[in-house]
Structure 1
Amino acid sequence: MTEQLAGGAAFPDLRGTSVFITGGGAGIGAALTEAFLEQGARVAFCQRSDVTVFCDRMETRHGNRPLFLQCDVTDEPALRAAMAEAASEHGPITVLVNNAANDTRHDTLDISSDEWDDLIAVNLKSYFLTTQIAVPGMMEAGGGAIVNFSSISYMLGMAEMTAYTTANGGITAMTRGHAREFGRDGIRVNAVAPGWVLTERQLRLWASPEALDDFLTKQCLGRHLEPADLAGPVLFLASQASAMITGQCLAVDGGVVTTAA
Protein backbone atom coordinates (compact mmCIF):
# COMPACT_ATOMS: atom_id res chain seq x y z
CA MET A 1 0.00 0.00 0.00
CA THR A 2 2.86 2.38 0.78
CA GLU A 3 6.41 2.83 -0.40
CA GLN A 4 9.24 4.93 0.88
CA LEU A 5 9.69 8.27 -0.87
CA ALA A 6 11.78 11.31 0.12
CA GLY A 7 12.24 10.03 3.64
CA GLY A 8 8.55 9.37 4.25
CA ALA A 9 5.70 7.12 3.21
CA ALA A 10 4.04 7.50 -0.18
CA PHE A 11 0.32 6.89 -0.62
CA PRO A 12 -0.23 6.35 -4.36
CA ASP A 13 -4.03 6.47 -4.04
CA LEU A 14 -3.81 10.14 -3.01
CA ARG A 15 -2.28 11.15 -6.35
CA GLY A 16 -4.77 13.30 -8.25
CA THR A 17 -7.20 13.33 -5.32
CA SER A 18 -9.19 16.52 -4.72
CA VAL A 19 -8.26 17.68 -1.21
CA PHE A 20 -9.69 20.64 0.72
CA ILE A 21 -7.99 21.91 3.89
CA THR A 22 -9.27 24.66 6.18
CA GLY A 23 -6.52 26.93 7.48
CA GLY A 24 -4.09 25.32 5.07
CA GLY A 25 -1.67 28.22 4.67
CA ALA A 26 -0.03 28.49 8.09
CA GLY A 27 1.13 26.39 11.02
CA ILE A 28 -0.02 22.76 10.97
CA GLY A 29 -2.22 23.52 7.96
CA ALA A 30 0.74 24.58 5.85
CA ALA A 31 2.56 21.35 6.70
CA LEU A 32 -0.55 19.40 5.65
CA THR A 33 -0.86 21.30 2.37
CA GLU A 34 2.76 20.55 1.54
CA ALA A 35 2.42 16.90 2.49
CA PHE A 36 -0.58 16.38 0.19
CA LEU A 37 1.16 18.28 -2.62
CA GLU A 38 4.14 15.98 -2.24
CA GLN A 39 1.79 13.02 -2.73
CA GLY A 40 0.61 14.52 -6.02
CA ALA A 41 -2.83 15.51 -4.75
CA ARG A 42 -4.79 18.47 -6.06
CA VAL A 43 -4.94 20.68 -3.00
CA ALA A 44 -7.23 23.61 -2.31
CA PHE A 45 -7.25 25.42 0.98
CA CYS A 46 -8.85 28.42 2.63
CA GLN A 47 -7.09 30.93 4.84
CA ARG A 48 -8.07 34.36 6.15
CA SER A 49 -4.69 35.99 5.51
CA ASP A 50 -2.97 36.38 2.15
CA VAL A 51 -0.52 33.49 1.77
CA THR A 52 0.35 33.89 -1.90
CA VAL A 53 4.05 33.77 -1.01
CA PHE A 54 3.52 30.34 0.56
CA CYS A 55 1.78 29.13 -2.62
CA ASP A 56 4.66 30.44 -4.74
CA ARG A 57 7.10 28.52 -2.56
CA MET A 58 5.07 25.32 -2.81
CA GLU A 59 4.91 25.59 -6.61
CA THR A 60 8.66 26.13 -6.83
CA ARG A 61 9.42 23.26 -4.48
CA HIS A 62 6.95 20.67 -5.75
CA GLY A 63 5.87 21.83 -9.20
CA ASN A 64 2.32 21.59 -7.87
CA ARG A 65 0.60 24.83 -6.88
CA PRO A 66 -2.18 24.70 -4.29
CA LEU A 67 -5.40 26.58 -4.95
CA PHE A 68 -5.56 29.34 -2.34
CA LEU A 69 -9.07 30.60 -1.58
CA GLN A 70 -9.04 33.53 0.82
CA CYS A 71 -11.98 33.36 3.19
CA ASP A 72 -12.99 33.18 6.83
CA VAL A 73 -14.47 29.79 7.78
CA THR A 74 -17.06 31.57 9.94
CA ASP A 75 -18.46 33.30 6.84
CA GLU A 76 -20.78 30.56 5.58
CA PRO A 77 -21.52 32.01 2.11
CA ALA A 78 -17.80 32.60 1.51
CA LEU A 79 -16.95 29.10 2.74
CA ARG A 80 -19.56 27.52 0.47
CA ALA A 81 -18.27 29.55 -2.48
CA ALA A 82 -14.67 28.54 -1.76
CA MET A 83 -15.50 24.85 -1.59
CA ALA A 84 -17.58 25.08 -4.76
CA GLU A 85 -14.64 26.69 -6.56
CA ALA A 86 -12.30 23.98 -5.27
CA ALA A 87 -14.65 21.27 -6.58
CA SER A 88 -14.98 23.07 -9.90
CA GLU A 89 -11.20 23.32 -10.33
CA HIS A 90 -10.14 19.93 -8.96
CA GLY A 91 -13.23 17.73 -9.12
CA PRO A 92 -15.46 16.66 -6.23
CA ILE A 93 -13.71 17.00 -2.88
CA THR A 94 -13.01 13.46 -1.67
CA VAL A 95 -10.58 14.36 1.13
CA LEU A 96 -11.63 17.04 3.61
CA VAL A 97 -9.28 18.12 6.39
CA ASN A 98 -10.80 20.40 9.03
CA ASN A 99 -7.79 22.09 10.59
CA ALA A 100 -8.76 25.74 11.18
CA ALA A 101 -8.86 26.64 14.87
CA ASN A 102 -8.48 29.46 17.37
CA ASP A 103 -7.11 28.55 20.80
CA THR A 104 -7.10 32.09 22.19
CA ARG A 105 -6.90 31.98 25.99
CA HIS A 106 -9.78 33.41 28.03
CA ASP A 107 -11.28 33.39 31.51
CA THR A 108 -14.74 31.89 31.82
CA LEU A 109 -15.94 34.74 34.05
CA ASP A 110 -14.79 37.38 31.58
CA ILE A 111 -15.62 36.04 28.11
CA SER A 112 -18.67 37.63 26.48
CA SER A 113 -21.49 35.74 24.78
CA ASP A 114 -20.41 37.11 21.40
CA GLU A 115 -16.79 36.07 21.97
CA TRP A 116 -17.96 32.58 22.93
CA ASP A 117 -20.08 32.34 19.77
CA ASP A 118 -17.15 33.50 17.64
CA LEU A 119 -14.82 30.84 19.07
CA ILE A 120 -17.39 28.06 18.69
CA ALA A 121 -18.03 29.20 15.11
CA VAL A 122 -14.36 28.73 14.21
CA ASN A 123 -13.60 25.68 16.27
CA LEU A 124 -16.76 23.58 15.84
CA LYS A 125 -19.47 25.01 13.58
CA SER A 126 -17.11 25.37 10.61
CA TYR A 127 -16.30 21.64 10.85
CA PHE A 128 -19.99 20.80 10.62
CA LEU A 129 -20.51 23.16 7.68
CA THR A 130 -17.59 21.88 5.61
CA THR A 131 -18.78 18.32 6.17
CA GLN A 132 -22.31 19.25 5.14
CA ILE A 133 -20.94 20.90 1.99
CA ALA A 134 -18.49 18.14 1.02
CA VAL A 135 -20.48 14.98 1.75
CA PRO A 136 -22.89 15.13 -1.24
CA GLY A 137 -19.94 15.22 -3.65
CA MET A 138 -18.27 12.36 -1.78
CA MET A 139 -21.47 10.35 -2.08
CA GLU A 140 -21.57 10.93 -5.83
CA ALA A 141 -17.89 9.98 -6.10
CA GLY A 142 -18.49 6.73 -4.25
CA GLY A 143 -16.76 7.66 -1.02
CA GLY A 144 -14.27 9.89 0.69
CA ALA A 145 -12.34 10.65 3.85
CA ILE A 146 -12.80 13.40 6.42
CA VAL A 147 -10.09 14.14 8.97
CA ASN A 148 -11.06 16.52 11.78
CA PHE A 149 -8.57 18.18 14.11
CA SER A 150 -9.44 17.81 17.75
CA SER A 151 -6.95 18.31 20.60
CA ILE A 152 -5.77 16.54 23.73
CA SER A 153 -6.48 19.79 25.60
CA TYR A 154 -10.03 18.71 26.37
CA MET A 155 -8.83 15.28 27.55
CA LEU A 156 -6.47 17.00 30.00
CA GLY A 157 -9.14 19.40 31.28
CA MET A 158 -7.00 22.44 30.52
CA ALA A 159 -8.18 25.76 31.93
CA GLU A 160 -8.34 29.26 30.39
CA MET A 161 -9.51 27.94 27.02
CA THR A 162 -12.97 26.56 27.75
CA ALA A 163 -14.48 27.45 24.37
CA TYR A 164 -11.64 25.66 22.60
CA THR A 165 -11.74 22.54 24.79
CA THR A 166 -15.54 22.41 24.59
CA ALA A 167 -15.36 22.60 20.79
CA ASN A 168 -12.74 19.86 20.61
CA GLY A 169 -14.80 17.53 22.77
CA GLY A 170 -17.64 18.26 20.36
CA ILE A 171 -15.45 17.55 17.35
CA THR A 172 -14.64 14.09 18.65
CA ALA A 173 -18.33 13.39 19.28
CA MET A 174 -19.31 14.76 15.86
CA THR A 175 -16.60 12.63 14.22
CA ARG A 176 -18.08 9.48 15.69
CA GLY A 177 -21.64 10.47 14.78
CA HIS A 178 -20.72 11.31 11.19
CA ALA A 179 -18.72 8.10 10.83
CA ARG A 180 -21.88 6.20 11.67
CA GLU A 181 -24.14 8.42 9.56
CA PHE A 182 -22.08 8.33 6.37
CA GLY A 183 -20.23 5.02 6.62
CA ARG A 184 -22.66 3.19 4.32
CA ASP A 185 -21.85 5.79 1.67
CA GLY A 186 -18.18 4.82 1.77
CA ILE A 187 -17.20 7.95 3.72
CA ARG A 188 -14.75 7.53 6.57
CA VAL A 189 -14.59 10.15 9.31
CA ASN A 190 -11.74 10.26 11.80
CA ALA A 191 -10.10 12.80 14.09
CA VAL A 192 -6.55 13.62 15.05
CA ALA A 193 -5.88 15.04 18.51
CA PRO A 194 -2.48 16.75 18.62
CA GLY A 195 -0.55 17.55 21.71
CA TRP A 196 1.32 20.84 21.98
CA VAL A 197 2.62 21.52 18.48
CA LEU A 198 5.20 24.31 18.33
CA THR A 199 3.85 26.44 15.52
CA GLU A 200 5.00 30.02 15.05
CA ARG A 201 1.86 31.20 16.90
CA GLN A 202 2.51 28.95 19.89
CA LEU A 203 6.14 30.02 20.09
CA ARG A 204 5.19 33.68 19.88
CA LEU A 205 2.37 33.67 22.43
CA TRP A 206 2.74 30.91 24.99
CA ALA A 207 5.93 28.85 24.69
CA SER A 208 8.03 30.19 27.54
CA PRO A 209 11.07 28.10 28.50
CA GLU A 210 9.32 27.12 31.74
CA ALA A 211 6.12 26.05 29.97
CA LEU A 212 8.05 24.05 27.40
CA ASP A 213 10.07 22.23 30.03
CA ASP A 214 6.98 21.48 32.08
CA PHE A 215 5.03 20.08 29.14
CA LEU A 216 7.90 17.93 27.96
CA THR A 217 7.86 16.11 31.29
CA LYS A 218 4.29 14.99 30.46
CA GLN A 219 5.35 13.31 27.18
CA CYS A 220 6.77 9.83 26.79
CA LEU A 221 8.91 11.00 23.86
CA GLY A 222 11.66 13.46 24.58
CA ARG A 223 11.13 16.18 22.00
CA HIS A 224 8.39 18.68 21.25
CA LEU A 225 6.01 18.21 18.34
CA GLU A 226 6.48 20.19 15.14
CA PRO A 227 3.80 20.83 12.46
CA ALA A 228 5.30 18.20 10.14
CA ASP A 229 4.70 15.52 12.78
CA LEU A 230 0.97 15.71 11.99
CA ALA A 231 1.38 15.14 8.24
CA GLY A 232 1.96 11.39 8.34
CA PRO A 233 -1.05 10.56 10.53
CA VAL A 234 -3.35 12.74 8.40
CA LEU A 235 -2.10 11.25 5.13
CA PHE A 236 -2.66 7.78 6.57
CA LEU A 237 -6.24 8.55 7.63
CA ALA A 238 -6.97 10.19 4.26
CA SER A 239 -5.64 7.27 2.23
CA GLN A 240 -6.84 3.75 1.56
CA ALA A 241 -4.08 2.54 3.87
CA SER A 242 -6.70 3.14 6.58
CA ALA A 243 -9.60 1.78 4.54
CA MET A 244 -11.31 0.10 7.51
CA ILE A 245 -10.63 2.79 10.10
CA THR A 246 -13.45 5.21 10.89
CA GLY A 247 -14.97 6.91 13.91
CA GLN A 248 -11.60 7.05 15.66
CA CYS A 249 -9.70 9.81 17.42
CA LEU A 250 -5.94 9.38 17.14
CA ALA A 251 -3.83 11.17 19.74
CA VAL A 252 -0.60 12.46 18.20
CA ASP A 253 1.03 13.95 21.27
CA GLY A 254 4.34 12.27 22.04
CA GLY A 255 2.59 10.08 24.58
CA VAL A 256 0.85 12.52 26.92
CA VAL A 257 -2.52 10.76 26.96
CA THR A 258 -2.90 7.02 26.75
CA THR A 259 -6.35 6.90 25.13
CA ALA A 260 -8.33 9.12 22.78
CA ALA A 261 -11.30 9.40 25.16
Structure 2
Amino acid sequence: MSLLAPSLARYPSLRGRGVLITGGATGIGATLVEQFAAQGARVGFIDIDAAAGAAWADTLAATAEVPPLFVAADLTDIAALDAAVNRVRDHVGPITVLLNNAANDKRHSIETTTAESWDAGIAVNLKHQFFAAKAVCPDMRAAGGGSIVNFGSISWKLKQGGMPAYTTSKAAVQGLTRSLARDFGPFNIRVNTLVPGWVMTDKQLRLWVDEASREEIARGQCINQPLLATHIASMALFLAADDSAMCTAQDFVVDGGWT
Protein backbone atom coordinates (compact mmCIF):
# COMPACT_ATOMS: atom_id res chain seq x y z
CA MET A 1 0.00 0.00 0.00
CA SER A 2 1.32 3.47 -0.89
CA LEU A 3 1.14 6.16 1.77
CA LEU A 4 0.58 9.83 1.02
CA ALA A 5 3.70 10.95 -0.84
CA PRO A 6 5.73 13.55 1.09
CA SER A 7 5.77 15.82 -1.96
CA LEU A 8 1.97 16.00 -2.18
CA ALA A 9 -0.22 18.51 -0.37
CA ARG A 10 -1.63 17.97 3.09
CA TYR A 11 -4.92 19.63 3.95
CA PRO A 12 -5.41 20.42 7.64
CA SER A 13 -9.12 21.11 7.03
CA LEU A 14 -9.66 17.44 6.09
CA ARG A 15 -8.35 16.11 9.38
CA GLY A 16 -11.22 14.59 11.35
CA ARG A 17 -13.75 15.41 8.64
CA GLY A 18 -16.51 12.88 7.90
CA VAL A 19 -16.08 11.60 4.33
CA LEU A 20 -18.32 9.26 2.32
CA ILE A 21 -16.95 7.62 -0.82
CA THR A 22 -19.12 5.52 -3.14
CA GLY A 23 -17.54 2.71 -5.12
CA GLY A 24 -14.48 2.67 -2.86
CA ALA A 25 -13.47 -0.99 -2.99
CA THR A 26 -11.38 -0.95 -6.17
CA GLY A 27 -9.92 1.33 -8.82
CA ILE A 28 -10.12 5.10 -8.41
CA GLY A 29 -12.41 4.70 -5.41
CA ALA A 30 -9.91 2.58 -3.49
CA THR A 31 -7.25 5.24 -4.01
CA LEU A 32 -9.68 7.91 -2.80
CA VAL A 33 -10.30 5.94 0.40
CA GLU A 34 -6.55 5.51 0.94
CA GLN A 35 -5.66 9.14 0.29
CA PHE A 36 -8.45 10.65 2.39
CA ALA A 37 -7.59 8.32 5.26
CA ALA A 38 -3.95 9.42 4.93
CA GLN A 39 -5.12 13.00 5.47
CA GLY A 40 -6.59 12.01 8.83
CA ALA A 41 -10.20 12.11 7.63
CA ARG A 42 -12.86 9.82 9.06
CA VAL A 43 -13.78 7.77 5.99
CA GLY A 44 -16.66 5.47 5.19
CA PHE A 45 -17.01 3.81 1.81
CA ILE A 46 -19.76 1.86 0.07
CA ASP A 47 -19.43 -0.76 -2.65
CA ILE A 48 -21.34 -3.71 -4.03
CA ASP A 49 -18.15 -5.83 -4.03
CA ALA A 50 -18.26 -7.09 -0.46
CA ALA A 51 -15.08 -9.18 -0.60
CA ALA A 52 -12.90 -6.47 -2.14
CA GLY A 53 -14.31 -3.80 0.15
CA ALA A 54 -13.72 -5.79 3.32
CA ALA A 55 -10.20 -6.71 2.22
CA TRP A 56 -9.33 -3.09 1.44
CA ALA A 57 -10.69 -1.88 4.78
CA ASP A 58 -8.61 -4.52 6.58
CA THR A 59 -5.49 -3.47 4.66
CA LEU A 60 -5.92 0.20 5.48
CA ALA A 61 -6.74 -0.49 9.12
CA ALA A 62 -3.11 -1.49 9.66
CA THR A 63 -1.81 2.03 9.02
CA ALA A 64 -4.70 4.50 9.03
CA GLU A 65 -5.00 6.83 12.00
CA VAL A 66 -8.76 6.30 11.81
CA PRO A 67 -9.54 2.95 10.12
CA PRO A 68 -12.06 3.41 7.29
CA LEU A 69 -15.46 1.76 7.57
CA PHE A 70 -16.66 -0.40 4.68
CA VAL A 71 -20.38 -0.97 4.07
CA ALA A 72 -21.50 -3.43 1.39
CA ALA A 73 -24.56 -2.16 -0.49
CA ASP A 74 -26.10 -1.96 -3.94
CA LEU A 75 -26.25 1.78 -4.63
CA THR A 76 -28.95 1.31 -7.24
CA ASP A 77 -31.27 0.25 -4.41
CA ILE A 78 -32.04 3.64 -2.87
CA ALA A 79 -33.33 2.17 0.39
CA ALA A 80 -30.08 0.22 0.72
CA LEU A 81 -28.11 3.36 -0.11
CA ASP A 82 -29.90 5.34 2.59
CA ALA A 83 -29.24 2.59 5.12
CA ALA A 84 -25.57 2.49 4.17
CA VAL A 85 -25.27 6.27 4.54
CA ASN A 86 -26.76 5.98 8.02
CA ARG A 87 -24.20 3.32 8.96
CA VAL A 88 -21.37 5.51 7.73
CA ARG A 89 -22.77 8.50 9.63
CA ASP A 90 -22.92 6.45 12.83
CA HIS A 91 -19.22 5.63 12.40
CA VAL A 92 -17.67 8.87 11.10
CA GLY A 93 -20.07 11.46 12.48
CA PRO A 94 -21.67 14.14 10.30
CA ILE A 95 -20.78 13.65 6.65
CA THR A 96 -19.43 16.90 5.20
CA VAL A 97 -17.61 15.45 2.18
CA LEU A 98 -19.28 13.24 -0.42
CA LEU A 99 -17.39 11.70 -3.32
CA ASN A 100 -19.88 10.26 -5.82
CA ASN A 101 -17.39 7.99 -7.54
CA ALA A 102 -19.27 4.72 -8.17
CA ALA A 103 -19.94 3.85 -11.82
CA ASN A 104 -19.77 1.01 -14.33
CA ASP A 105 -18.44 1.67 -17.82
CA LYS A 106 -19.58 -1.67 -19.20
CA ARG A 107 -19.52 -1.60 -22.99
CA HIS A 108 -22.86 -2.13 -24.74
CA SER A 109 -24.11 -1.64 -28.25
CA ILE A 110 -27.26 0.18 -29.31
CA GLU A 111 -28.60 -3.08 -30.76
CA THR A 112 -28.31 -4.96 -27.48
CA THR A 113 -29.60 -2.16 -25.24
CA THR A 114 -33.02 -2.84 -23.75
CA ALA A 115 -35.29 -0.66 -21.65
CA GLU A 116 -34.20 -2.64 -18.60
CA SER A 117 -30.47 -2.41 -19.31
CA TRP A 118 -30.81 1.31 -20.05
CA ASP A 119 -32.50 1.94 -16.69
CA ALA A 120 -29.84 -0.16 -14.96
CA GLY A 121 -27.08 1.90 -16.58
CA ILE A 122 -28.66 5.18 -15.52
CA ALA A 123 -29.14 3.83 -12.00
CA VAL A 124 -25.50 2.87 -11.47
CA ASN A 125 -23.96 5.86 -13.23
CA LEU A 126 -26.26 8.77 -12.36
CA LYS A 127 -29.30 8.15 -10.16
CA HIS A 128 -27.43 7.26 -6.97
CA GLN A 129 -25.38 10.47 -7.18
CA PHE A 130 -28.52 12.55 -6.66
CA PHE A 131 -29.85 10.39 -3.82
CA ALA A 132 -26.49 10.23 -2.04
CA ALA A 133 -26.31 14.04 -2.19
CA LYS A 134 -29.85 14.28 -0.87
CA ALA A 135 -28.98 11.92 2.01
CA VAL A 136 -25.96 13.90 3.21
CA CYS A 137 -27.35 17.40 2.68
CA PRO A 138 -28.86 17.66 6.20
CA ASP A 139 -25.45 16.90 7.75
CA MET A 140 -23.80 19.59 5.66
CA ARG A 141 -26.49 22.16 6.40
CA ALA A 142 -26.17 21.54 10.13
CA ALA A 143 -22.36 21.81 9.89
CA GLY A 144 -22.53 25.10 8.03
CA GLY A 145 -21.25 23.74 4.74
CA GLY A 146 -19.67 20.86 2.89
CA SER A 147 -18.32 19.61 -0.41
CA ILE A 148 -19.89 17.22 -2.90
CA VAL A 149 -17.75 15.92 -5.77
CA ASN A 150 -19.64 14.17 -8.57
CA PHE A 151 -17.49 12.06 -10.88
CA GLY A 152 -17.96 12.53 -14.60
CA SER A 153 -15.99 11.31 -17.61
CA ILE A 154 -14.40 12.70 -20.76
CA SER A 155 -15.92 9.82 -22.76
CA TRP A 156 -18.96 11.75 -23.93
CA LYS A 157 -16.84 14.81 -24.75
CA LEU A 158 -14.77 12.62 -27.04
CA LYS A 159 -17.97 11.37 -28.70
CA GLN A 160 -17.02 7.85 -27.66
CA GLY A 161 -19.45 5.19 -28.84
CA GLY A 162 -20.13 1.67 -27.68
CA MET A 163 -21.74 2.49 -24.33
CA PRO A 164 -24.63 4.96 -24.78
CA ALA A 165 -26.17 4.56 -21.32
CA TYR A 166 -22.81 5.27 -19.70
CA THR A 167 -21.90 8.30 -21.80
CA THR A 168 -25.40 9.74 -21.46
CA SER A 169 -25.21 9.36 -17.68
CA LYS A 170 -21.80 10.97 -17.48
CA ALA A 171 -22.92 13.94 -19.57
CA ALA A 172 -25.92 14.35 -17.26
CA VAL A 173 -23.68 14.38 -14.17
CA GLN A 174 -22.49 17.85 -15.12
CA GLY A 175 -26.07 19.10 -15.34
CA LEU A 176 -26.81 17.53 -11.96
CA THR A 177 -23.78 19.26 -10.45
CA ARG A 178 -24.85 22.69 -11.66
CA SER A 179 -28.42 22.33 -10.42
CA LEU A 180 -27.35 21.04 -7.00
CA ALA A 181 -24.76 23.80 -6.70
CA ARG A 182 -27.53 26.37 -7.05
CA ASP A 183 -29.91 24.64 -4.63
CA PHE A 184 -27.25 23.88 -2.00
CA GLY A 185 -25.23 27.08 -2.36
CA PRO A 186 -27.24 29.09 0.20
CA PHE A 187 -26.10 26.54 2.81
CA ASN A 188 -22.41 26.90 1.88
CA ILE A 189 -22.42 23.46 0.25
CA ARG A 190 -20.17 23.31 -2.79
CA VAL A 191 -20.87 20.91 -5.66
CA ASN A 192 -18.35 20.25 -8.41
CA THR A 193 -17.70 17.67 -11.12
CA LEU A 194 -14.36 15.89 -11.26
CA VAL A 195 -13.90 14.72 -14.84
CA PRO A 196 -11.23 12.03 -15.26
CA GLY A 197 -9.65 10.98 -18.51
CA TRP A 198 -8.77 7.36 -19.20
CA VAL A 199 -7.35 6.22 -15.87
CA MET A 200 -5.09 3.18 -15.95
CA THR A 201 -6.76 1.13 -13.22
CA ASP A 202 -6.42 -2.65 -12.98
CA LYS A 203 -9.90 -3.05 -14.48
CA GLN A 204 -9.16 -0.83 -17.48
CA LEU A 205 -5.87 -2.56 -18.15
CA ARG A 206 -7.48 -5.97 -17.85
CA LEU A 207 -10.58 -5.34 -19.97
CA TRP A 208 -10.14 -2.42 -22.35
CA VAL A 209 -6.60 -1.16 -22.80
CA ASP A 210 -4.74 -2.74 -25.71
CA GLU A 211 -2.06 -1.50 -28.06
CA ALA A 212 -4.58 0.41 -30.18
CA SER A 213 -5.91 2.08 -27.02
CA ARG A 214 -2.42 3.10 -25.95
CA GLU A 215 -1.85 4.68 -29.35
CA GLU A 216 -5.16 6.54 -29.04
CA ILE A 217 -4.17 7.85 -25.62
CA ALA A 218 -0.76 8.93 -26.90
CA ARG A 219 -2.40 10.89 -29.73
CA GLY A 220 -5.06 12.44 -27.50
CA GLN A 221 -3.23 13.45 -24.34
CA CYS A 222 -0.88 16.42 -24.40
CA ILE A 223 1.14 14.75 -21.66
CA ASN A 224 1.97 11.27 -22.90
CA GLN A 225 2.19 9.61 -19.50
CA PRO A 226 -0.21 7.13 -17.88
CA LEU A 227 -3.09 8.82 -16.07
CA LEU A 228 -3.29 7.21 -12.62
CA ALA A 229 -5.83 7.09 -9.84
CA THR A 230 -3.49 9.13 -7.64
CA HIS A 231 -3.79 12.03 -10.09
CA ILE A 232 -7.57 11.94 -9.68
CA ALA A 233 -7.31 11.68 -5.90
CA SER A 234 -5.11 14.78 -5.73
CA MET A 235 -7.84 16.86 -7.36
CA ALA A 236 -10.52 15.29 -5.15
CA LEU A 237 -8.57 16.23 -2.01
CA PHE A 238 -8.36 19.86 -3.14
CA LEU A 239 -12.08 20.01 -3.94
CA ALA A 240 -12.99 18.51 -0.57
CA ALA A 241 -10.72 20.80 1.44
CA ASP A 242 -11.38 24.37 2.51
CA ASP A 243 -8.70 25.49 0.04
CA SER A 244 -11.37 25.35 -2.69
CA ALA A 245 -13.87 27.32 -0.63
CA MET A 246 -15.24 29.41 -3.50
CA CYS A 247 -15.18 26.70 -6.17
CA THR A 248 -18.63 25.40 -7.02
CA ALA A 249 -20.73 24.47 -10.09
CA GLN A 250 -17.49 23.81 -12.00
CA ASP A 251 -15.92 20.99 -14.00
CA PHE A 252 -12.37 20.04 -12.99
CA VAL A 253 -10.85 17.95 -15.78
CA VAL A 254 -7.87 15.67 -15.12
CA ASP A 255 -7.09 14.02 -18.44
CA GLY A 256 -3.54 14.90 -19.46
CA GLY A 257 -4.90 17.55 -21.82
CA TRP A 258 -7.01 15.26 -23.99
CA THR A 259 -10.12 17.45 -24.14
Report the Cα distance in structure 1 between the residues aligned to 2:175 and 2:71, rounded to whole angstroms.
Answer: 29
Check conservation: 2:40, 2:65, Cα contact below 8 A: no
Residue aligning to 2:7 = 7
| Letter aligned with residue 196 of structure 1 | W
Residue aligning to 2:161 = 159
Report the Cα distance in structure 2 between the residues aligned to 1:52 and 1:171, rounded to whole angstroms.
Answer: 28
Q: Deviations over 1:68-120 (max 9, x none)?
A: 00001101111101101111221111000000001111111221110110010
| Letter aligned with residue 7 of structure 1 | S
Residue aligning to 1:102 = 104
Shift of 1:5: 6.6
Report the Cα distance in structure 1 between the residues aligned to 2:238 and 2:110, rounded to whole angstroms.
Answer: 37
Check conservation: 1:216, 1:224, Cα contact below 8 A: no
Residue aligning to 2:187 = 185
Structure 1 stretch displaced more, 203-212 or 122-131: 203-212
| Letter aligned with residue 96 of structure 1 | L
Residue aligning to 2:120 = 118
Verify: 1:92 aligned to 2:125, yes or no.
no
Q: Deviations over 1:23-59 (max 9, x none)?
A: 0111000000011000000000001112222112112
Report the Cα distance in structure 2 between the residues aligned to 1:45 and 1:53, rounded to whole angstroms.
Answer: 13
- The 5 A counterparts of 1:142-221 are 142-221=144-223
TM-score when scaled to structure 1?
A: 0.95
Shift of 1:185: 0.4
Report the Cα distance in structure 1 between the residues aligned to 2:172 and 2:216, rounded to whole angstroms.
Answer: 27
| Letter aligned with residue 252 of structure 1 | V
Check conservation: 1:58, 1:64, Cα contact below 8 A: no
Query: Partner of 2:252: helix, strand, or coil?
Result: strand
TM-score when scaled to structure 2?
A: 0.96
Q: Deviations over 1:116-161 (max 9, x none)?
A: 1001000000001101111111111111000010001111111011
Report the Cα distance in structure 2 between the residues aligned to 1:20 and 1:214, rounded to whole angstroms.
Answer: 34
Report the Cα distance in structure 1 between the residues aligned to 2:209 and 2:177, rounded to whole angstroms.
Answer: 30
Structure 1 stretch displaced more, 175-184 or 50-59: 50-59
Report the Cα distance in structure 2 between the residues aligned to 1:200 and 1:103, rounded to whole angstroms.
Answer: 14
Verify: 1:28 aligned to 2:28, yes or no.
yes
Report the Cα distance in structure 2 between the residues aligned to 1:102 and 1:227, rounded to whole angstroms.
Answer: 16
Report the Cα distance in structure 2 between the residues aligned to 1:163 and 1:187, rounded to whole angstroms.
Answer: 29
Identity across aligned pairs (percent)?
A: 44
Structure 2 gaps, min length 5: none
Tell me the number of residue pairs that the alignment of Structure 1 and Structure 2 aligns: 254
| Letter aligned with residue 39 of structure 2 | Q
CA distance 1:63–1:125, change in 2 (3 Å): same
Check conservation: 1:179, 1:189, Cα contact below 8 A: yes
- The 5 A counterparts of 1:216-235 are 216-235=218-237
| Letter aligned with residue 144 of structure 1 | G
Shift of 1:61: 2.9
Report the Cα distance in structure 2 between the residues aligned to 1:111 and 1:122, rounded to whole angstroms.
Answer: 15
Shift of 1:62: 2.7
Report the Cα distance in structure 2 between the residues aligned to 1:6 and 1:58, rounded to whole angstroms.
Answer: 18
